[in-house]
Amino acid sequence: MTQPSYSDTSPTSIESFGRRLVGSTVRKTKGLKEIPSEYSSESEGAHTKGTFGKLVESFYYGIDPGNQPCSPDFKDAGVELKTHSLTRGRSGFSAKERLSLGDIQYNEIVSETFETSCFMRKNRLLMLISRRHTENDLLVDAKIELANLIDFNRLPKSDQQIIKEDWNLIAHKVRNGQAHLLSGSDTRYLEAATKGRDGSVRVPQPHSEEPARRRAFAFKAGYLTSLVRRYLNPDAQHTEIDQQEVISDPTEIGDRGFEKAVIERFHPFLNLTIDEIEDRLTVSPNREAKGYRATLVRLIMGVSARKVAEFERAGIELKTILIHENGLSREHMSFPTFRYMGDRSILTEDWDAIDSDEEDEDGTGDNRAIPLIKRTLEDRRFLFAVFEKDSGRERLTKVVFWSMPVVDIERHVRPVWKQAQDCIRSGNLAELPGARFNHVCHVRTHGRGRGLDTLPTPHNGQQTRRSFWLDKHYIQAQIATTQ
């Protein structure tokens, strides 16, 4: 058999060589080097983080570039090689995790611009190899679903603008001595993800004596999913069938940014009643429907689909809040239920674990799980649309983007999570932190207590599902002080 080859100075040659893998596996597709026997028995799992990337990089492409901070793997071609895995659901393939794009160099980013940054020098051209994830299967036998060269300059203009805005937001915080306050929820598509083997480790940052976590640039899983689906179905429409973009004209973002462009859509509708909003929009959605207010908010944004495409990619959740005539909301804000025991339960969680991507060789390499509530609050951003009752009529009074401050997550959510974990482990459910625990976060039931609404516990038999909640007074106070 002829020895395969490619030019490591040509992006198109690198891409063509990668596409030989599509529909096949690294075992079946001959690369430049033989795969050592010790790699042939490695299977999917936390203990093999970085192994698939090694298979593709060292044995298929036959390169050993090391991990140079600002240099792509194929230096002469300007191409960075990236591997990741996909899961398949009813909506098609989705990225299993975020895609790490190199460490954030705190001391360097403060003097960089986006166009000349280390990030762009390394990631302007990405050779993306996507495999199908099958639990416990051998990595050499993982089916390759996609091999595509992603050129930043050929992404949709709105994507380019949002990624640039995200980079600038991260750089701005570091320049202001706030690297310790970085969070995945700060940004839309490109995030500052935690990095390393231990989340309790801190490193120095410029312009502040407060140490910060190590972080890396990463594409969020939602955005990576949109990219993968776009390349898997190049003839399909840009967005999913049940999604619609709120920004169809990239010039609308301009210098003001994505969020300000969205908020400006609401300015003509603030302080109008829902009747007046419907008249102005010439729509009449079903007011008895559970999601009526959310539907009305999407229509104001110009979105008639069930989902906002940019929100799905960025992990932004739309929440509507009704303030009654006594000035209070009736509902606390709930999050997904947690398991009491077993795999992926609250008992297997570690607050200082790192939620690194599976191709990150610098990841934890063990089965510690970052708490679900912590990951949700650090990654999720919300668009709150506030309606207030006035003489029996509802008015739209405020619309704001919000994410929970890092200091509040550490100060108020962490102790609630820790006490909940301790109580479940000991069987002392009576001491689970309730609404009076700290008036910010608490644990309460999330179900009716029958049938499928119960889960097994270590010491207390079947118990109604529970979840973490944010206090309604806390949410109202946050909205009131958010511009």
Where are the chain's structural domains? 11-236, 334-382+401-481
Q: Tell me the two tokens of residue 99.
A: 């895609």
Q: How far apart are CA 73 and CA 473, in angstroms?
A: 50
Q: So what's the pLDDT on residue 231?
A: 93
Q: What is the mean pLDDT of residues 194-221?
A: 91
Q: So what's the pLDDT on residue 360?
A: 59
Q: What is the mean pLDDT of residues 39-67?
A: 87
**pLDDT tens readout for residues 283-320:** 999 999 999 999 999 999 999 999 999 999 999 999 99
Which residues 6+ apart lie within 8 Å of 204 measured at CB? 106, 211, 212
What's the CATH superfamily of 11-236?
DNA mismatch repair MutH/Restriction endonuclease, type II (3.40.600.10)
Q: So what's the pLDDT on residue 233?
A: 85
Global pTM? 0.92
Q: So what's the pLDDT on residue 81?
A: 98
Q: How far apart are CA 27 and CA 36, in angstroms?
A: 11
Nearest to 395 by CA among 261, 260, 278: 278
Q: What is the CA radius of gyration of the chain?
A: 24
Confidence of residue 195 (pLDDT cuts 50, 70, 90): confident
Is the predicted pLDDT of residue 47 greater than 70, yes or no?
Answer: no
Q: So what's the pLDDT on residue 211?
A: 97
Distances (CA, A) of 307 to 299, 377, 394: 11, 21, 24
Mean pLDDT, the chain, whole residue set:
93
Q: So what's the pLDDT on residue 356?
A: 60
Q: How far apart are CA 359 and CA 379, in angstroms?
A: 20
Nearest to 160 by CA among 124, 191, 127, 126: 124
Is the predicted pLDDT of residue 135 greater than 70, yes or no?
Answer: yes
Is the predicted pLDDT of residue 372 greater than 90, yes or no?
Answer: yes
Helix, coil or strand: residue 34:
coil
Of 8-17, 97-106, 256-265, 441-450, which gets the smallest average pLDDT?
Answer: 441-450
Which strand (E) or helix (H) includes residue 165?
A: helix 157-175
Instruction: Specify whether the CB–CB gap between 267 and 397 falls below 8 A.
Output: no
Q: How far apart are CA 106 and CA 103, in angstroms?
A: 9
